[in-house]
């Protein structure tokens, strides 16, 4: 293990930047030996011919990101000549933690803390292990992540963990386990359930547990895989007011499709916020951060973690002095460090863009995409409600970029002589998603990466999925510089044109 090596040995054996970027995670970032891609279709180095429109799933590291990661690796190598790996890792984790808070608009005086972890699923597992709720209530896993149900119930969710090597899927991480209730945001055919119905189910499940004296972890998802917010902020506020000591709130904002103002508003309610640098921010896959408000820190800083959590976290990933961190080993995760360095580089650039420019571009982008989807029988846009945070923010604050749509989900149809058209099955949609990454005569060497298909129920007994075309922070940075909006929008339309071309040729 790295912590067992001398600085001199480590300076020689520290892997390359590309190797580090796919280390310190689970099987989801392991590269396929044939394709050289992760299960998300990403490589650990830039891919300039790939049109990146799939940030709801993952993004390939950018030129700026790989440069920043490589520079940090070299800095670590230099420091390892005279410092221990544990010391070098802890120093840079603290630096990244401080800059993330600064970019989110927090000062040291705010008393806000950050826990780092390999992924959003790892964050949920660690939060559950730390708080040990008897019940967790959250949105259906198809809208978040397939590993979350196991993670929040105290089970290993992947056959490999970020820090502990091989683990048996489905077995308990520790001596704790809780129960789980999921909220169905969509009907069996993929259409949206009425929000009031979803909120009523949430209230019933939380109230049932709280009245029985149980501790509840209520997860508010902002934004889901297809752009939903579940449950409503009004419902979460009401439940928290009624059950102040029994309900803890975790905002699953792992897509990171929300502004610094919104993050601060959540923290002001004493709700934790889970973020990742690998979705909207478009850093390399596997970089998570849990933003913890001061009141929560006061309640739980003396809560230990079971030794089983050592498979997912290292001591320096937690704030200094917390018992949870002291419960863990001091093994550094340099892969996590380099991935966050790349993500912070992207976030820093995005935060420099004026908000009116961001909003104007997002509205223009949405108009172009909606018009292209609407005029082609091959596409069926998946409905999503307007993002509403009025209960959290005043009307003036509501007029900001994160109320705009940035994930565009749609079902696919092919011509059918009898019925006019038919929906693609889940398997067919997955194959098309893969074909888009292959160069074609109609698009030259350019390939298109969209968000992985999301299961959306069944139609006429056939399982269906939606593709997702997504806006990322680097796309916005490019669009707001030197009139780059036209080119950015053209890339999105080209992707839809290629999909239509493929479907019409079936």
Asked whether residue 331 carries a pLDDT value surpassing 50, the answer given is yes
- Per-residue model confidence as pLDDT tens digits over 21-40: 999 999 999 999 999 999 99
Closest CA to 117 of 140, 100, 134: 100
pLDDT at 400: 85
Tokens 């079936």 locate to 506
Q: Residue 443 in contact with residue 173, Cβ under 8 Å? A: no
- Per-residue model confidence as pLDDT tens digits over 96-145: 999 999 999 999 999 999 999 999 999 999 999 999 999 999 999 999 99
CATH architecture of residue range(s) 354-504: Alpha-Beta Complex (3.90)
Asked whether residue 188 carries a pLDDT value surpassing 60, the answer given is yes
Cβ-based neighbours of 140, under 8 Å, separated by 6 or more: 182, 183, 184, 185, 186
Determine whether domain 85-348 maps to CATH 3.40.640.10: yes
Mean predicted confidence (pLDDT) in 482-499: 93
Asked whether residue 3 carries a pLDDT value surpassing 60, the answer given is no
Mean predicted confidence (pLDDT) in 488-493: 96
CA distance 380 to 426: 15
CA distance 363 to 82: 52
Asked whether residue 443 carries a pLDDT value surpassing 80, the answer given is no
pLDDT at 88: 97
Mean predicted confidence (pLDDT) in 36-46: 93
3-state secondary structure of 114: strand
Q: Residue 439 in contact with residue 446, Cβ under 8 Å? A: yes
CA distance 137 to 235: 13
Mean predicted confidence (pLDDT) in 435-464: 85
- Per-residue model confidence as pLDDT tens digits over 194-248: 999 999 999 999 999 999 999 999 999 999 999 999 999 999 999 999 999 999 9
Q: What is the overall mean pLDDT for the chain?
A: 93
pLDDT at 189: 87
Closest CA to 386 of 219, 229, 191: 229
Asked whether residue 9 carries a pLDDT value surpassing 50, the answer given is no
Residue 484's pLDDT band, with cuts at 50, 70 and 90, is confident
Mean predicted confidence (pLDDT) in 340-365: 97
Q: Where are the beta strands (DSSP E) in 258-334?
A: 272-276, 288-292
Of 344-348, 396-400, 498-502, give the lowest mean pLDDT range: 396-400
pLDDT at 388: 87
Choice between 227 and 441, residue whose per-residue pLDDT is larger: 227
CA distance 78 to 192: 54
- Per-residue model confidence as pLDDT tens digits over 49-107: 999 999 999 999 999 999 999 999 999 999 999 999 999 999 999 999 999 999 999 99
pLDDT at 396: 59
Asked whether residue 249 carries a pLDDT value surpassing 70, the answer given is yes
Domain segments of the chain as ranges: 85-348, 354-504
Q: Residue 256 in contact with residue 279, Cβ under 8 Å? A: yes
């Amino acid at each position: 293990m790295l912590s067992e090596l001398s600085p001199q040995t480590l300076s020689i054996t520290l892997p390359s930047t590309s190797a580090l970027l796919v280390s310190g995670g689970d099987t989801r970032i392991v590269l396929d030996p044939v394709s050289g891609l992760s299960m998300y279709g990403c490589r650990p180095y830039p891919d300039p011919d790939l049109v990146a429109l799939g940030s709801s799933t993952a993004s390939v590291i950018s030129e700026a990101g790989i440069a920043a990661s490589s520079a940090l690796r070299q800095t670590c190598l230099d420091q390892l000549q005279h410092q221990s790996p544990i010391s070098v890792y802890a120093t840079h984790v603290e630096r990244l933690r401080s800059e993330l808070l600064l970019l989110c608009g927090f000062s040291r005086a705010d008393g806000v803390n950050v826990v780092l972890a390999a992924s959003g699923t790892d964050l949920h597992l660690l939060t559950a292990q730390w708080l040990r709720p008897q019940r967790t209530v959250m949105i259906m896993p198809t809208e978040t992540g397939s590993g979350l149900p196991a993670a929040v119930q105290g089970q290993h969710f992947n056959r490999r963990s970020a820090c502990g090597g091989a683990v048996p899927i489905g077995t308990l991480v520790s001596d704790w386990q809780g129960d789980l209730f999921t909220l169905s945001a969509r009907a069996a055919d993929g259409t949206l359930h009425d929000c009031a119905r979803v909120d009523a189910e949430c209230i019933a499940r939380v109230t049932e547990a709280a009245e029985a004296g149980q501790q509840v972890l209520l997860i508010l998802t902002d934004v889901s895989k297809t752009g939903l917010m579940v449950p409503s902020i009004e419902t979460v506020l009401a439940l928290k007011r009624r059950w102040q000591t029994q309900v803890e709130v975790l905002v699953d904002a792992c897509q990171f499709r929300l502004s610094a103002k919104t993050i601060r508003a959540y923290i002001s309610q004493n709700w934790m916020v889970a973020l990742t640098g690998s979705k909207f921010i478009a850093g390399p896959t596997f970089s998570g951060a849990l933003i913890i408000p001061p009141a929560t820190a006061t309640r739980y800083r003396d809560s230990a973690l079971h030794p089983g959590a050592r498979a997912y976290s290292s001591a320096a990933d937690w704030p200094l002095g917390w018992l949870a961190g002291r419960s863990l080993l001091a093994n550094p995760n340099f892969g996590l460090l380099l991935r966050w360095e790349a993500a912070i580089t992207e976030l820093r650039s995005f935060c420099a863009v004026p908000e009116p420019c961001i909003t104007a571009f997002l509205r223009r982008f949405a108009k172009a995409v909606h018009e292209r989807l609407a005029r082609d029988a091959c596409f069926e846009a998946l409905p999503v409600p307007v993002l509403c945070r009025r209960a959290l923010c005043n009307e003036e604050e509501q007029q900001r970029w994160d109320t705009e749509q940035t994930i565009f989900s749609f079902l696919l149809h092919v011509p059918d002589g009898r019925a006019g058209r038919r929906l693609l099955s889940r398997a067919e949609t997955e194959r098309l998603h893969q074909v888009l990454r292959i160069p074609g005569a109609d698009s030259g060497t350019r390939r298109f990466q969209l968000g992985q298909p999301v299961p959306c129920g069944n139609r006429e007994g056939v399982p269906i999925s939606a593709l997702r075309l997504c806006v990322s922070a680097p796309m916005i940075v490019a669009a707001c510089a030197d009139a780059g909006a036209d080119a950015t929008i053209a890339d999105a339309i080209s992707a839809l044109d290629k999909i239509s071309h493929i479907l019409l040729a079936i």
